[in-house]
Structure formats: C-alpha cells, structure tokens
C-alpha cells in the first residue's frame, strides 16, 4: 500500500504494508539511518523522531499512522551546511555525545522537549529523558547539555532549516 509522508520537510512516498514501523521506513526505504533501532520494542528511545510536535518511538509507530503529521528525524534538525541545532551544539560542548545508538534519540527528545519548555530545571530534563536509555555511561553531561541549550538564545526552527 502507498503511504505519503512528509519527512524533514520533503514529501516521500513508500509502498509498504501499513503495519511497517516508521523506523523501518525511515532507515530502509528513505535511507535516513540517523534514526537507530536498538530494542525495537519501545523501551530504549534510540528510534525517537518528532511527529508533529511530539517525540515518538518510531519503532512502535505503524507507518499508516504517520501520514497525518510531519516527521522530523535527526537529519532534519539542521541543514547539512548550516549551524547545528542548539541541542546538538550543547551536546558537543558539554561532552554529552555518547554512542551512536542512543545519542540521536536523546537529541530528538531534548529538542522536542525544549521547544515547549523554555526554562527547565535538571529534574524536568531527567523526566523528559525517562524514555531514552543509556546502558553504559550516564546522564549527567546530557542533562548539562539540555540546560545549556535551554539557556542559549532561542532560534526559531524555520530559521535553522
Ligand atoms: S528501538 Fe524504538 S524504543 Fe528502542
Ligand atoms: S547506550 Fe549509548 S552511550 Fe550508553
């Protein structure tokens, strides 16, 4: 069956069964492999993307339910030759970048969270990250990055793309 998506501001059409996870569509059909799949069961957050204005686990979302709202993946947070998103900048400067499996999902969760929470405290950031698991390193520098990004001058999303 054909599904029409909007991914990172571009129209995309895929011919897959309606129950195909959005993460598979992104990675295998649209070649957007910044979205990672670790558990595949909605428990780790590595597959997090933005659907409309909320962060979702794309491994749990059937593609048939992703047509109505725009999808943003980590590749769409900033233009290829443009400045990084403030969360990405802060993840670098605060040494919050960890492995390639968990980091994209953390970035997507935090960028979505900060769009609706202008001045969070550390507890709110940790709560926002409850769906994003790191099995090995810890969250201290990631929380620092979120607070640093929140303190940076907000940049309207349309100006970053
Ligand atoms: S891969 Fe989707 S939550 Fe783990
Ligand atoms: S799971 Fe990515 S650094 Fe631990």
The structure tokens 């979702």 sit at 56
> Is the C-beta atom of 70 inside 6 A of ligand 1?
no
- Asked if 14 and 30 touch (Cβ cutoff 8 Å), the reply is yes
CA distance 131 to 60: 13
Atom index in ligand 2 nearest the CA of residue 44 equals: 1
β 71-72/10-15 pair status: unpaired
How much is the pTM? 0.93
The angle that helices 103-116 and 86-93 make with each other, rounded to 10 degrees, is 130
pLDDT tens-digit map of 66-91: 999 999 999 999 988 889 999 999 99
Which strand (E) or helix (H) includes residue 106? Answer: helix 103-116
- Asked if 151 and 87 touch (Cβ cutoff 8 Å), the reply is no
pLDDT for the residue numbered 154: 57
In this structure, the residues whose C-beta lies within 6 A of any atom of ligand 2 are: 98-99, 101-102, 134-137
- Give whole-number Cα distances, 111 to 2, 20, 90, in Å: 30, 26, 11
pLDDT range class, residue 98, cuts 50, 70, 90: confident
- Protein residue whose Cα sits closest to atom 3 of ligand 1: 42
Say how many Å lie between the CA of residue 149 and the centre of ligand 1: 25
* Ligand of minimum distance to the alpha carbon of 100: 2
DSSP for 28-46, written as a single string: IIS--TTS--SSSSSSS-T
pLDDT tens-digit map of 15-56: 999 999 999 999 999 999 999 999 999 999 999 999 999 999
Backbone angles phi, psi at 23, to 5 degrees: -60, -40
Residue to mutate, 99, 109, 129, ligand 2, most ligand atoms under 8 Å from C-beta: 99
- Protein residue whose Cα sits closest to atom 1 of ligand 2: 134
Q: Under DSSP, is residue 18 helix (H, G, I), strand (E, B) or coil?
A: coil
Say how many Å lie between the CA of residue 159 and the centre of ligand 1: 30
CA angle, corner 10, sides to 8 and 15, nearest 5? 105
């Amino acid at each position: 069956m054909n599904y029409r998506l909007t991914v990172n501001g571009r129209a995309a059409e895929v011919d897959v069964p309606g129950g195909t996870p959005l993460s598979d569509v992104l990675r295998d059909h649209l070649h957007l492999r910044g979205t990672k799949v670790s558990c595949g069961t909605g428990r780790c957050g590595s597959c997090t993307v933005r659907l409309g204005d909320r962060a979702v686990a794309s491994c749990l979302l059937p593609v048939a339910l992703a047509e109505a709202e725009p999808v943003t993946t980590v590749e769409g947070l900033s233009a290829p030759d443009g400045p990084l998103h403030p969360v990405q900048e802060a993840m670098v400067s605060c040494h919050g970048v960890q492995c390639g499996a968990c980091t994209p999902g953390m970035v997507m969760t935090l960028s979505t969270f900060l769009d609706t929470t202008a001045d969070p405290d550390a507890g709110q950031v940790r709560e926002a990250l409850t769906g994003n698991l790191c099995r090995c390193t810890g969250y201290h520098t990631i929380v620092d990055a979120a607070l640093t990004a929140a303190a940076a001058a907000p940049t309207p999303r349309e100006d970053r793309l």
